[in-house]
Each structure stands twice: as structure tokens, then as C-alpha cells.
């Protein structure tokens, strides 16, 4: 067991180069991961691969530059994991504003 076990993590940019490596590491630590990106197909390929390794993940297709996209992320996390412990905001976006 690690201190990250069962932590509920939002990972934006999950399907990108760094994101897919971070998701792999989080799954090794047995986190529950909301994988976020806009391209649903890329997310589903990643989530299927992680689930086949025993990871607890959900794919959330959302554009985090949009308020409705960010709302969707939190709604999905609430619905599947009853909340969020950690936000890893890794998507390649430069926008200086509050996340919610």
C-alpha cells in the first residue's frame, strides 16, 4: 500500500505524451483516475489499456477551456468516485483563471 492508494485523481491531458506516463504511474499506486481530454477515442484506448492492467479509471471527454467542460469533469468524478482528492492539471493550456 502507498499513501496514494485510492486517491481520486483528475488528470487533464491524460492522452498526451506526459499524461499517458503519469496515468501509468498513478495506476501503479492504485489511484482512481479521471482521464481528461477532448478526443474520446484516444481516451478510450488509454482507459482500456489501463483497465486491462487492473486500473480503476474513467474516461472523461471534456474541453477544460470551457466552464461546461470543467463542470462535466467534476460531475463525472462525483458520480463515479464521490469526489476528488488531487488535480493534476497537465493539459497543454495557458489560461490564467480559477479552475472552477
The radius of gyration of the chain from alpha carbons, rounded to an integer in Å, stands at 12
- DSSP reduced 3-state for 29: coil
Among 9, 19, 70, 76, binds ligand NAP (CB under 6 A): 19
Using rule CB under 6 A, residue 37 touches ligand NAP = yes
Nearer to ligand NAP, 5 or 40 (CB): 40
Which residues between 44 and 73 bind ligand NAP (CB under 6 A)? Answer: 63-65
Per-position DSSP letters for 63-92, written without gaps between them: -TTSHHHHHHHHHHHHHHHSS-SEEEE-SS
The residues of the shown chain that bind ligand NAP, judged by CB under 6 A, are 12-19, 36-39, 42, 63-65, 90-93
Amino acid at each position: 500500500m502507498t499513501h496514494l492508494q485510492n486517491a481520486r485523481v483528475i488528470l487533464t491531458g491524460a492522452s498526451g505524451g506526459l499524461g499517458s506516463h503519469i496515468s501509468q504511474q498513478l495506476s501503479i499506486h492504485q489511484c482512481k483516475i479521471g482521464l481528461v481530454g477532448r478526443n474520446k477515442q484516444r481516451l478510450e484506448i488509454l482507459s482500456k489499456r489501463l483497465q486491462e492492467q487492473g486500473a480503476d479509471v474513467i474516461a472523461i471527454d471534456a474541453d477544460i477551456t470551457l466552464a461546461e467542460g470543467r463542470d462535466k469533469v467534476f460531475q463525472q468524478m462525483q458520480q463515479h468516485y464521490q469526489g476528488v482528492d488531487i488535480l493534476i492539471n497537465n493539459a497543454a493550456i495557458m489560461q490564467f483563471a480559477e479552475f472552477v
